[in-house]
Structure 1
Amino acid sequence: MPYTLTTPLYYVNDQPHLGSVYTTLACDALARFQRLDQLEVVFITGVDEHGQKIQRMADQKGMSPQSYCDTISQRYRDLWSRWSISQDRFVRTTNPHHSELVEQFFDRVQASGDIISGRQIGWYCVGCEEYKDNTDHAVAPSCPIHQKALEWRDEENLFFRLSRYQNEIEQLVAQDDFITPANRRQEVRNFVARGLRDFSISRVNLSWGLPVPGHPGHVFYVWFDALLGYLTALLDDGGSINLNRLKECGWPASIHIIGKDIIRFHAIFWPAMLLSAGLPIPQRIFGHGFLTREGQKMGKSLGNILDPGLLLNQYGADAVRWYLLRDIQFGDDGDFQQQRFTCLVNNDLANTIGNLLNRTSSMARKWFNDSVPPNGIGIQVDHDLAVKAQTAIDTVFRSLPELEFKSAAEAILRLAIAANSHLNNTAPWNRIKQPNQIDGVAEDLYVVLESTRIVGLLLAPLVPDLSERILNQLACKLDSKNWKDQLRWGGLITGTKLPKPVPVMQRLEIMKDH
């Protein structure tokens, strides 16, 4: 059974932003780890392309909705390629296969008796693509998220009978492992406890959407349509679009990784829809926090949006990946601080890891014929650094499946710090000048280089390019089929020729304002 993980399907109302990069980088790190741990992975990402907001954005730009979607969708594809995102599927909800699947799914839900007609009256936010609870027509409220006036709607819609699934959803969200982290879980439980209400799944007087079979003038509500994109992605493998094939293709999803603002759709609406269609529900929903910049919400009005393309051009993927995954507890809100970003990358990657490798390799080359020093003590697994290396390995294998990227990164960094301390304490540059110390110097350099090799291997899911550069400096390569075996202490082969050291991580300068 494949390990299926997904990002949200990003709404193409605007350019990709750092928040969507953040989610996708986290998914990419998890996918890379699971592959190295020898799981078959299906990593899904993509875009959600229907709804009134898209139609209006296209109109503003003088484009057809399809042309507009094509343009923004390609920008996501190009950006993910530049960030070396290792997705297996990229789904677009304008794909004809998706329309075919939505119709199949709707037929199942309708056959379950869960589609009814009703009147939807209330204030509607085009930005959120949803009705708000305030139904007082006398006062025109604004959306607290988008800071734009809501629109009054009074129309006939089709409704999904969510209220029928009150008990099932209560039992589902009561499970501690279905929604993480805990604060998101409690938020959903509180919402469910207030009682689930049927929600509309169609819109009228809207041309940009998938038509509802048998209901002229209705198109599917964007959220009903978009959530089904996960299923379309799995079935878009060259086989038939048939919901009965889902299990063999990797459904249910092992985890949906999403922003906290869409937790309700994924943890309540989505499971109920799947139950109605007779399909398994996802195993886990993870709702992470938002990114701010220097303590402020990022937005066009403030002029403080961080362009992920410019960030990548100036600093490279390793620096940004490390900062986002190492400095922020995934699940909590995080703040992108220029000074801290620069200091953290320089201290952790350029100094602690990069300088450790450079100076140790230089000494080994100088005193041991450009080679890995002889290891006279053999594979001494009880050496202090060997014990610390195993601790780091255990922490990484425990942390990454739980999306505890910060914990994993810090464990790797502690190993590098310990190796630096060992080097400083043994001072091989002094001992080499003393008689009969060559064997001891060889041992000290070997264990530090071996620790650095394990650091390089453990970094592979988090900062894959840096990992490769570290291993290249040790004349090693990542073997994706035997990663666990490579992590055993003593894998560095004595006598291996070491290349001339070059910095594996350039120091950063203070970031210019983007």
Structure 2
Amino acid sequence: MRLSYKAMLTALLTGTAARAFTSLPRSRIARHRLSTATSLLQATPATSYDDGSSPIQITTPIYYVNDKPHIGHAYTSLACDVLARYMRLSGRDVYFLTGTDEHGQKVQQTAASRGMDPQSFVDEVSSSFRELLTLMNVSHDRFIRTTEESHKLAVQHLWNVLLERGDIYLGSYEGWYSVRDECYYNESELVDGKAPTGAEVVWLKKEDSYFFRLSDYQHRLLEYYRDHPEFIAPESRRNEVVNFVEGGLKDLSISRTTFDWGVKVPNDEDHVMYVWMDALTNYISALGYPDTKDGGNFAKYWPAGLHVVGKDILRFHTVYWPAFLMAAGLPLPKRIFAHGWWTKDGEKISKSLGNVIDPVELVDTYGVDPTRFFLMSEVTFGNDGDFSDEKMIYKINANLSNELGNLNQRIMTLVFKNCDGAVPSEIGPLTEEDEQLLATAASLSQRTGEEISKQAIHKYVDHMISMVWDANKYIDVQAPWVLKKTDQERMRTVLYVLMEVMRHVAILYQPLMPASSNMILDQLGIPKDERKFEHLAKEECKILLGRTISKPTAVFPRFEVPETAKA
């Protein structure tokens, strides 16, 4: 029978290690060599756009509340959560922002179709996004809603700044518009009569509209892209944006009069602001803008270190948003990273095909950490990915149950049974094989930090998987179960080396699988205040000789496919 998630969670929660500490002296030779092995640790490296240590704002896009959250929302949130958790564990001050975008014609129409007023509708849907974040253990610092009064005032302030600087004027507009995308498209952009995203477009008849002088910023944007090649990533997306801007920018219609669910234009309540000008401003309104004084969040965290977005909203974040900021005299975000889309079993995900992936169902079926692991490791971050239950089950069983979970179970069971329920009280000198494995573990922080600094989350996971492979190979070669009969001192040394390696693995896996990693750290007997990256190289934070441990339990039970599913 397949274990339910509740059963898995119960198994995990019963594995808390005892906290009995027994301080016994460590071999002088072993102490020296372990210290040497861990001296390779370095701080997370700086990049051309991030010094690696200053306070940083990381953001998801704010999610449009036209319907309940799907796998794309979960994916972006998890990516930002992994990055934020990694940086916090590295000692950085992180402000992780997410939230919901609640205005626009589409919201007003959907609310009306359900017989609800817009505010009640967005209250209901926004709460489902909050619940998803809680369910998936996302560690955001602020959840912003664009219906908040402070946000509306910030957007109106920005409007007035742009107006005073001569970048907004009143004119009229007609053209192709996608209600689903909340986006205007040129005739040349349409594909078979639809938006490039596949959304339906409608011809908007001529109406009064305020315009932003986007065309004035074409050359400034291109210069900025040239001078800051790290601003847009990955490179394929940067090239896409540069090509779009080089094709010529037209002034942007930024208000509408045909609906009223939005932020009112100052001094002209017949108009509501174009939803993207409203939505994009969240990144600074959440920091207290227009208050830019020293000592506030805006002064501390802006410019944002990283905006993570889906590739479908790249243009808004890399063309419109920086142009608005340039016009207002505000610094631009340091980096915008666009990830790809998910398909299901090789097919595009859509309601009409009935193949929408509900992240809540994923968690209910597979558990929180296995879901986090799969979504962050299955594809190159930035590329499109394909989901299938078969792939997910294989990855859970291969990388988590068979490799990481089984390794931890083997180590802890051997220690518990053969060392009187405690960490070995004495160990012998280290061999070359011991030192090599410990050195590999000691360099893991540096190697994973380099990948995180580039948002290469999949490579971060690859390094972790490789480390577990190395440890599994080591235990198979050293065979401590055989050493028990032939050389107990060597057996104790091997088990101690493995526990120290597992300490590194579990501490560095916390950003990806926080609950499961801490279960392993509990079994290892690592105090809760010694689980940050700074503790990896500290002599006094290594596995304490003689410390009592509790009987280990499985952290990643194997996922068994029900017989009905096999049939």
Structure 1-normalised TM-score?
Answer: 0.94
Deviation at 1:207, TM superposition (A): 1.1
Deviation at 1:248, TM superposition (A): 2.1
Residue pairs, 1:96-495, within 5 angstroms: 96-134=149-187, 141-174=193-226, 175-235=228-288, 242-244=291-293, 247-377=298-428, 383-434=435-486, 437-479=487-529, 482-487=532-537, 491-495=542-546
Pairing partner for 1:93 from 146, 150, 154: 146
Where does residue 44 of structure 1 map in the other structure? 97
Contact 1:5 1:31 in 2 (8 A): yes
Distance in 2 separating the partners of 1:113 and 1:474: 63
Distance in 1 separating the partners of 2:189 and 2:330: 38
Distance in 2 separating the partners of 1:431 and 1:102: 69
Distance in 2 separating the partners of 1:149 and 1:186: 26
Q: Which amino acid aligns with 2:291?
A: N
Q: Which amino acid aligns with 1:474?
A: L
Distance in 1 separating the partners of 2:463 and 2:230: 25
When structure 1 is superposed on structure 2, of 464-473 and 425-434 the one drifting more is 425-434
Q: Which amino acid aligns with 2:339?
A: H
Distance in 2 separating the partners of 1:372 and 1:481: 18
Contact 2:536 2:542 in 1 (8 A): yes
Deviation at 1:478, TM superposition (A): 4.4
Distance in 2 separating the partners of 1:84 and 1:487: 28
Distance in 2 separating the partners of 1:135 and 1:294: 32
Deviation at 1:120, TM superposition (A): 1.1
Contact 1:124 1:131 in 2 (8 A): yes
Deviation at 1:324, TM superposition (A): 1.1
- Equivalent residues, number: 506
Secondary structure of the structure 2 residue equivalent to 1:217: strand
- Superposed CA deviations along residues 430-479 of structure 1, whole A, max 9, x for unmatched, are 22122xx1111111111112111111111011111111111111111443
Distance in 2 separating the partners of 1:299 and 1:193: 33
Change in Cα spacing, 1:457 to 1:243, as seen in structure 2 (3 Å) is same
Secondary structure of the structure 2 residue equivalent to 1:143: coil
Deviation at 1:249, TM superposition (A): 4.0
Contact 2:178 2:199 in 1 (8 A): no
Secondary structure of the structure 1 residue equivalent to 2:506: helix
Pairing partner for 1:24 from 67, 77, 85: 77
Deviation at 1:374, TM superposition (A): 3.6
Contact 1:258 1:288 in 2 (8 A): yes
1:505 aligns to 2:556 (yes or no): yes
Secondary structure of the structure 2 residue equivalent to 1:152: strand
| Structure 1 segments unaligned to the other structure (5+ residues) | none
Change in Cα spacing, 1:379 to 1:101, as seen in structure 2 (3 Å) is farther
Change in Cα spacing, 1:356 to 1:205, as seen in structure 2 (3 Å) is same
Contact 2:174 2:203 in 1 (8 A): no
Distance in 1 separating the partners of 2:189 and 2:305: 41
Q: Which amino acid aligns with 2:69?
A: P
Of the two structures, which has the highest relative contact order with CA contacts closer than 8 Å and spacing of 6 or more?
2
| Structure 2 segments unaligned to the other structure (5+ residues) | 1-53
Contact 1:121 1:135 in 2 (8 A): no
Change in Cα spacing, 1:482 to 1:457, as seen in structure 2 (3 Å) is closer
Secondary structure of the structure 2 residue equivalent to 1:292: strand
Distance in 1 separating the partners of 2:429 and 2:103: 63
